[in-house]
Amino acid sequence: MPKLEKGILLYEGKAKKLFATTNPAEVIVYYKDDATAGNGAKKGTILNKGILNNKITGFLFEMLESSNIPTHHIRLLSEREALVKKVNIIPIEVVTRNIVAGSLSNKLLIPEGERLACPIVELYYKNDAAGDPPINYYHAKALNLATREQIDTMESYALRINEILSAFFAEKNLILVDFKLEFGIYNNEVILADEITPDTCRLWDSVTLEKMDKDRFRRDLGGVEDAYIEVCRRITN
């Protein structure tokens, strides 16, 4: 295998940087410790978050691959870096919910913690300036964000991923409350991209119901670093 060279910075997001490699079909993701909430209104750092999130995503994406979910993950390169397939990100965030929390609780005036009769899948337009508004099939089609078929694929992957991850987390004494996924196009196929971490999932301890995710940062609950360390330990052990 030729030596992998980190090329130019292609993109810097809120939590990650993307670097070119000598292979145009592959890029390197670098996970930062930076944390934001409320669409960038709250900013901070979570010590070693980048290391933990790289490890957690690598582990979960490999698990999903082995359950026949195609992902962009190729391999971990270092503590904070992973080699991934270069995709065109579909600008739609796919949120799946098992238990009422966060924006759903605020919107429907249902207290956090109520289990839903079946999972809900929601679509949000990935657009910071517009505050990531909720959208449906019609918006996606009319704005050329994705085809109906691509959305159907993303939703069915989201529901399968929900089943796989809910069962896996349950074994680790964690409840998967809700989570956000992003997908990309690679060789004309929809594949899972971005990350699955305590930044993008709500995870509650199944015994104490303690929050073990980014809500600790969003809501100033303290113990943010320890929660990420504990989630990583439970997942990878």
Nearer to ligand UDP, 132 or 230 (CB): 132
Q: How far is the CB of 177 from ligand UDP (least distance, A)?
A: 7
Interface pattern 213-232 for ligand UDP (x via CB under 6 A): -x------------------
Instruction: Dig out the tokens for 8 from the structure.
Output: 């130019």
Of the pair 79, 128, the CB lying nearest ligand UDP is at 128
Q: 174-193 mask for ligand UDP (x: CB under 6 A)? A: ----xxx-------------
Q: Is 28 exposed, middle or buried (0-12, 13-18, 19+ CB in 10 A)?
A: buried
Give the angle subtended at the CA of 88 by the CAs of 214 and 80, to the nearest 5°.
45
Which is closer to ligand UDP, CB of 30 or CB of 179?
179
Burial of 117 (0-12, 13-18, 19+ CB in 10 A): exposed
The yes or no reply on residue 95 touching ligand UDP (CB under 6 A) is yes
CB of 44 to ligand UDP, least distance (A): 15
Specify the 3-state DSSP secondary structure of 200.
coil
- DSSP characters over 7-50: --EEEE-SSEEEEE-SSTTEEEEEE-SEEEETTTTEEEE-TTHH
Site string for ligand UDP, 118-137 (x = CB under 6 A): --------------x-----
Among the listed residues 49, 202, 211, 216, the single contact to ligand UDP using CB under 6 A = 202
Q: How far is the CB of 215 from ligand UDP (least distance, A)?
A: 7
- In angstroms, the CA 152 to CA 142 distance is 16
Sites of contact with ligand UDP (CB under 6 A): 95, 101-104, 132, 178-180, 200-202, 214
